[in-house]
């Protein structure tokens, strides 16, 4: 388990979009702390802390120590966050309280290691079907990642969820028959050939070039209710 990251979560009384804009202009973002059979708390946090969490070894599953001021401290994980679609800056975050003696459900990243024999020898392609594994365990037993050694994987070979190596302290929730990774052969699709015109029948005129597709910028996401 990675070391806890301390998060300064200051209480905030002002709510609404205008208050949220002022908060972001000051260098912090609105956030909510909920769960643990306690009332939800409206707080503000430094968005740089979120970046630190997501870049850490355990990522979003990092156990955080929230400093809630007068409300004391609480252990939590970063449950979700929102990013502005234009400038890609954090605009909101949700933290979920946890108890170190109560199991929680989380998703663990899957990492394929090695070069598959079916790729190296038979010129196949390694396809990663599942990139996350859903598990249930105590917060202190959350693995940083699930590693899959694909070195001995031949052409048309695969590894299923049931074959993954996980700790006895971790309960896998995904179906054991699901394919995690496999090696497939390269298949080239032949270009369609136009049928020749029958005798005495005029050839069809060439099709007009397709109009270029106009990419429309999507509507900016609405800001979350604060």
Would you say 180 and 109 are in contact if contact means Cβ atoms under 8 Å apart?
Answer: no
pLDDT at 193: 53
Query: Does pTM top 0.85 for this prediction?
Result: no
pLDDT at 17: 86
- Report, as ranges of residue numbers, the positions in the chain whose pLDDT lies below 70: 1-3, 188-226
* Backbone torsions φ then ψ of 189, nearest 5 degrees: -85, 130
pLDDT at 188: 42
Round to whole Å and give the CA distance between 19 and 94: 17
pLDDT at 13: 82
Cβ-Cβ contacts under 8 Å for 36 (sequence gap 6 or more): 74, 96, 97, 98, 99
Cβ-Cβ contacts under 8 Å for 11 (sequence gap 6 or more): 41, 42, 43, 68, 69, 70, 71
């Amino acid at each position: 388990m990675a070391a806890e990251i301390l998060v300064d979560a200051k209480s905030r009384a002002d709510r609404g979009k205008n208050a949220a804009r002022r908060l972001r202009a000051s260098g912090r973002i609105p956030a909510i702390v909920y769960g643990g059979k306690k009332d939800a708390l409206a707080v503000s946090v430094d968005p740089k802390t979120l970046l630190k969490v997501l870049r850490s070894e355990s990522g979003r599953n990092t156990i955080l120590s929230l400093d809630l001021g007068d409300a004391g401290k609480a252990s939590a994980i970063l449950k979700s966050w929102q990013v502005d679609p234009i400038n890609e800056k954090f605009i909101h975050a949700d933290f979920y309280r946890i108890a170190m003696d109560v199991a929680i459900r989380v998703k663990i990243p899957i990492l394929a290691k090695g070069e598959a024999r079916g790729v190296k020898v038979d010129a196949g392609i390694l396809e990663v079907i599942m990139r996350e594994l859903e598990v249930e365990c105590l917060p202190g037993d959350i693995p940083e990642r699930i590693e899959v050694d694909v070195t001995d994987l031949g052409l048309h070979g695969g590894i299923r969820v049931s074959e993954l190596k996980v700790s006895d302290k971790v309960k896998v929730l995904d179906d054991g028959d699901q394919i995690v990774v496999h090696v497939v052969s390269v298949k080239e699709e032949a270009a369609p050939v136009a049928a020749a015109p029958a005798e005495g029948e005029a050839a069809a005129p060439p099709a007009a070039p397709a109009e270029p597709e106009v990419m429309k910028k999507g509507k900016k996401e609405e800001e979350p209710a604060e």
